[in-house]
Amino acid sequence: MKGQALWDIKTVRASWQKPIPELAFRENDQRILPREYQADHLRRFQKVLIVKDQLLGATELANIQKASKYMKKTGGWSTQFKRDEHSGIFLRPTKGRRTKKMTEEEVVLIEESMRQVVNIIWSELFFFLLTEPKNIPYVNAWIKTGPLPGQYGLYHVTHYDCDEHLESTKGLFRFPLYTAIVYIDFSPEVEGGVTWFPEIKQGVIPKTNRLAIFDASLAHAVLPATAPNKTAKRTVMVMNVWDYKTRNEPVELTNGILGYTTDRREELQWIP
């Protein structure tokens, strides 16, 4: 029936006691790097999930919502922000991703509004969740404009946030410290779309201007969403906190950068 939820939360809770069936890999052949190759010591709290409403002020929310409208031309946007050692705030990259589908002014608005959100979350929560904030130089952020209507009724399977280039090239999983999700624009008529954490049996109901921060080593999924019309919105901004510079392939392809960064060579050569 149109408009009816495509999932039952009671069924999900009963069937997802363990996340193994829906993970991108099976327990017997998982390739999670051991603790000495992670950065667990920089995470003050393990297996934590924090939810905060009314994260952004009216101006900041309006800016990021306006910026997200430009992304309909590209389906989203990703940027790596580096923390300035002197001011302690995160800055836009000098060489970021570029596209002919958007003007330079549109790109600046997108990246500046994203940077503003990153710095708000850093000052209000990230900074206090980390044991050594000075050792966190990068935050990778991206915005997704969907899934309705493009992915109507579908969902994001259970997965880990990780160094995606390391995963795709070596099959190894190295986690960021924390992941943050900001629900930028979520139409109230949308039903479902919960961000679900099977390992801790908790879920976050999406709502405009709601923030969820969690230990990035937690598996999570986006449950099916449905809406009575195709104009419904689901726009989210996701951030990963990193203790080193990860590969950013869209930027590398734009600027012709090849090869691994020096500080990742030892990690990439490690074989379990």
What is the chain's mean pLDDT, rounded?
A: 77
- Strand-pairing partners, residue 203, are 196
pLDDT of res. 52: 96
pLDDT tops 80 at residue 201: yes
Spatial strand order of the sheet with 156-159 comes to 156-159, 220-222, 195-197, 202-204
Straight-line distance from the first to the last Cα atom of the chain, in angstroms, rounded to the nearest whole number: 49
Backbone angles phi, psi at 137, to 5 degrees: -90, -15
Backbone angles phi, psi at 224, to 5 degrees: -55, 145
pLDDT of res. 5: 37
Query: Across residues 112-133, what is the average pLDDT?
Result: 96
pLDDT tops 80 at residue 207: yes
Q: Using one digit for the tens of pLDDT, what is the confidence trace for 156-182?
A: 677 889 988 777 766 778 899 999 999
Closest CA to 39 of 167, 129, 122: 129
Q: Using one digit for the tens of pLDDT, what is the confidence trace for 15-56?
A: 333 333 344 444 444 577 878 788 999 999 999 999 999 999
Least confident of 72-76, 155-159, 251-255: 251-255
Of the ranges 78-92, 96-110, 168-182, which is most confident?
78-92
Of the ranges 75-79, 171-175, 201-205, 232-236, which is most confident?
201-205
pLDDT tops 50 at residue 192: yes
For a pLDDT cut of 90, what percent of the chain falls above it?
A: 40
pLDDT tops 80 at residue 252: no
Six token digits for residue 259: 């090869």
pLDDT of res. 21: 39
pLDDT of res. 95: 65
* pTM of the predicted protein model: 0.79
pLDDT of res. 138: 94
- Strand-pairing partners, residue 77, are 143
- Domains identified in the chain and CATH numbers: 9-254 (2.60.120.620)
pLDDT of res. 226: 75
Closest CA to 55 of 115, 117, 112: 117
